[in-house]
Amino acid sequence: MSRELMWLTLTVILTGVLWIPYILDRIMVRGLMGAMANPSRNDKPQASWAQRLYFAHTNAVENLVVFAPLVLILEAQGHSTESTVIACAVYFWARLAHAVIYALGVPVLRTLAFTVGFLAQVALVLAIFGKL
């Protein structure tokens, strides 16, 4: 497995487990049956951090749709450099930071973490077209 694919795998795992804490909060707030019921406007609101983590998870899924194909394109091209490995690692750590910072409710740092992840994706696009 290439190092880029390893970082993609870790990113997929991270994205795949981000829902667990906010679902546990939902169970604590609404009970097990309430958490499994259909959403309703009358539901008890979850903790603020859990609501923010839900949005961070949604954002992570939306961005995985961009990141994963970029890594797979590089893999199909057989293109792997220290720059592409670093870009993939930076993306992973930026997404982890984004989720934690978002859950903590720190707006400016959240945006910076998102931007770092976006710039890592830009670096991958540049590598695909031979510019990095």
Identify the residue whose tokens are 């792997």: 80
pLDDT in tens for each of the 132 residues of the chain? 999 999 999 999 999 999 999 999 999 999 999 999 998 999 999 999 999 999 999 999 999 999 999 999 999 999 999 999 999 999 999 999 999 999 999 999 999 999 999 999 999 999 999 988
Residue 9 lies in a domain: yes
Spatial separation of the C-alpha atoms in residues 87 and 132, rounded to whole Å: 11
The CATH number of residue 28's host domain is: 1.20.120.550
Residue 41 lies in a domain: no
Query: Range of 82's domain?
Result: 3-36+46-128
With CA atoms as reference, report the closest residue to 56 among 24, 10, 94, 82: 94
Tally of structural domains, the chain: 1
Residue 115 lies in a domain: yes
